[in-house]
Amino acid sequence: MGIKENIEEIKSKIPSEVQLLAVSKTKPIEALEEAYAAGMREFGENKVQELLAKEEIFHKDVKWHLIGHLQTNKVKYLVDKVHLIHSLDSIKLLEEIEKVYEKNEKTANTLIQINIGREESKSGILEENLNEFIEAIEECNHILVKGIMVIIPKGNEESNRYYFKKTKGIFDELKCKKFKNISMDILSMGMTNDYMTAIEEGSTLVRVGTGIFGERNYNV
């Protein structure tokens, strides 16, 4: 199946209120054009450099999401370029985003990335450090947190469901509280192989790359 058919199939399976994000990292503009022609307007990139290169030459009504780890020295390039940063994962990064966006008199929309599987290879805030992180977010004036993002450990459906359920529990707990800078509107969890399970467990945004663009490796 082609990109258009893949998108149509996914959209037919997921509820209308769940947002589909096309993960376009390493994919050429031609592939993104096909997705755009099929109605996609939200694209996710892992690397700042690639996001900027595509943003410059692609349709201006597209919303770009940064879903990969963000280095502090790259924050300054994202002002006015990115719709949502999914990977707010440390106080150091929080402070840099606040500093850069204050200087530009802008506000950054972000998601807290939680390391739900406590994997050393993955970025994200550990659950026990969340309260301290939230206190730091509440002291900011140029950052809004719109929800939570997780990348769960590789596993079977049972373990996937466990981590999705656990994340949804944190999401619901925070949703019940009142904050200045934090609202729980977006729960970004689920990718090509597990997005239906993620939706069953409460995901509101799924990040699909291979399921849209196919397995082919592109050289960029």
Model pLDDT for residues 74-96, shown as the tens digit of each residue: 999 999 999 999 999 999 999 99
User: Is the torsion defined by CA of 209, 52, 150, 159 positive or negative?
Assistant: positive
Residue 19 domain boundaries: 3-208
Q: Does the pLDDT value for residue 172 go beyond 60?
A: yes
Q: Does the pLDDT value for residue 216 go beyond 90?
A: no
Write the pLDDT tens digit of every residue in 100-111. 999 999 999 999
Q: In Å, how far from its chain's centre is CA 146?
A: 11
Q: What is the CATH number of the domain that holds 99?
A: 3.20.20.10
Number of domains comprising the chain: 1
Residue 214 belongs to some domain of the structure: no
Mean pLDDT of the chain: 96
For 79, what's the count of Cα atoms within 13 Å in the CB-facing half-sphere?
17
Residue 137 belongs to some domain of the structure: yes
Residue 165 belongs to some domain of the structure: yes
Residue 39 belongs to some domain of the structure: yes
Residue 68 belongs to some domain of the structure: yes
Residue 116 belongs to some domain of the structure: yes
Residue 216 belongs to some domain of the structure: no
Instruction: Determine what percent of the chain is predicted with pLDDT higher than 70.
Output: 98
